[in-house]
Amino acid sequence: MKTGQQTNQQSAEDAINSLRLLRAGAAPRRILVTGGAGFLGSHLCEKLLNQGHQVLCADNFTTGRHRNVAHLRGRPHFKVIRHDVTVPLAADVDEIYNLACPASPPHYQADPVQTMKTSVLGALNLLELAKARKAKIFQASTSEIYGDPHVHPQPESYWGNVNPVGPRSCYDEGKRCAETMFFDFHQQFGVEIKVARIFNTYGPNMRPDDGRVVSNFIVQALSGDDITIYGDGSQTRSFCFVDDLIDGFLRLMASPPSFTGPVNLGNPAEFTVRELAEQVISLTGSPSRIVHLPLPIDDPRQRRPDISIAKRELGWLPKIPLSSGLEQTITYFDRLLTSEARKLAETA
């Protein structure tokens, strides 16, 4: 918890940042971040605040967590509201970042109808708001729109190989439909849109029960449990640290109106899942063993972004290597798990 002195100091820094924007000829913007208490949303909210903007964080807290934005609550230009994007929202904003939707398979498969509604109705409601307010709007799309790809690495021109009736379809097809709606609003109503296709991302503020491979392996290693690999571990993934990804978001939103995307944002360095597990064991010094479980249905065999467009149009390239990002993420989870264990001990 921040002290009063720290809160006053942060408020002063926020005011200075807003003044810097004005002196640079750019007024502070009123920005809505849906899914703002989630993993990516919380990092984005903090970055926007540090730039001097006013930030409205909207989240239904299904997968988002209050603790992710607790350190931001005392700042004068930050407000949190509980809101589900499947319900229309009235807000006086200049920009919208739509990050609302569970992104890990266990969470989005837990309520597939709600996942589809969040992707499709949420996109519709926020596009209507952007249209009414003449606001620029960002869509957090996903590499999952490529499905289990037949093209490697995946360029934006690839239409994908997606099962429309499988257990992952609620998320994959929901995001594909949302992209369609964004481009229809852009072409029919002139709404300024930015669409990012996000590849595997990791870092602090992930949930311990997220169900994605990086968080799974780190939590298992820190707990001394077996590290569970689905399949033989030869399937590949590309892992982008969250700071690099947020930089990509901001560059995309600052790009000319003529550049809408979709644009791949992810780290093109490719690792097998087994290589990731071995790195986590090495960095944590864990005694965990690697065990194998059956591969889930429709799990992609390969996933790696072609980021040629991001490099050319945004000047964006990930900078943080996997080992460095893992160290920061392990530190976060170690503190989180220690804190949760202490609370359990105090209540026992």
pLDDT 10s digits, 116-169: 999 999 999 999 999 999 999 999 999 999 999 999 999 999 999 999 999 999
Is omega for the bond preceding 262 within 30 degrees of 0, making it cis?
A: yes
Mean pLDDT of the chain: 93
3-state secondary structure of 121: helix
Q: pLDDT tens-digit profile of 310-322? A: 999 999 999 999 9
Q: What pairing do the DSSP bridges indicate for beta strands 270-272 and 236-238?
A: antiparallel
Q: Is the pLDDT of residue 8 over 60?
A: no
**Average pLDDT for residues 220-248, to the nearest whole number?**
96
Active site residues: 171
List the domain boundaries for the chain. Answer: 84-347
Q: How confident is the model at residue 18 (pLDDT cuts 50, 70, 90)?
A: low
pLDDT for the residue numbered 104: 85
| Tally of CB atoms within 10 A around 135 | 22
The fold of the 84-347 domain, in CATH, is: Rossmann fold (3.40.50)
Q: How confident is the model at residue 112 (pLDDT cuts 50, 70, 90)?
A: very high
**Distance, CA of 131 to CA of 125 (rounded, Å):** 10
pTM: 0.91
Which range is least confidently modeled, 132-146, 293-307, 316-330?
293-307
What are 56's strand-pairing partners?
32, 79
**Average pLDDT for residues 190-196, to the nearest whole number?**
98
**Distance, CA of 324 to CA of 241 (rounded, Å):** 9
pLDDT for the residue numbered 276: 97
Which residues are CB-contacts of 194 (< 8 A; sequence separation ≥ 6)?
A: 136, 137, 138, 139, 252, 253, 255, 259, 260, 261
Q: Is the pLDDT of residue 6 over 60?
A: no
Buried b (16+ CB within 10 A) or exposed e, 216-247: bbbbbbbeeeebebeeebebbbbbbbbbbbbb
Sheet strands side by side (includes 54-59): 78-82, 54-59, 30-34, 95-98, 136-142, 193-198, 263-265
